[in-house]
Amino acid sequence: MSLHFKKPLAFAAASLFIVCTVLVLLWLRDMQNDRKHTVNVKGVTPIFAGDGGDGGCHGMQLTTVERGAELPVRRIRYLKGCAAIDVALPDGRKGYVVLGIGDVSVNPPLPTI
């Protein structure tokens, strides 16, 4: 390969690397911001199995959580019909809460649209 083709190829590879790095950093920052939230349970609330990205707005129920529980947030997913919040349960299992199903509040509050 001649030098004439190597420079544009190196520039394209470097540009792609920079774009991918920026996207990964933005994704990691979003995840870090999600983990600053907690879900406070105000009434009996179903926890669904898996994560909100797979199960969506409906899924297979894993368990229920009673009033007064405080669950750390792992990830917040804004889907077409709902917001699914991945949480860690006190016994080590992971599941997700669907906002609007059950009675929960999120602290700090989620932005409203």
Q: What DSSP state is assigned to residue 67?
A: T
Residue 32: band (very low, low, confident or very high) from pLDDT cuts 50, 70, 90 = confident
Q: Does 90 score more than 60 pLDDT? A: yes
Range with top average pLDDT, 4-8, 11-15, 42-46, 76-80: 42-46
The string of pLDDT tens digits covering residues 44-81 is: 999 999 888 777 788 899 999 999 999 999 999 988 88
pLDDT tens string 91-109:
999 999 999 898 999 999 8
Residue 94's SS3 state is strand
- Residue 78 corresponds to which tokens in the numbers above? 């804004």
Domains of the chain: 38-107 (2.30.30.40)
Please name which of 90, 61, 87, 83 lies closest in space to residue 74, comparing C-alpha atoms: 87
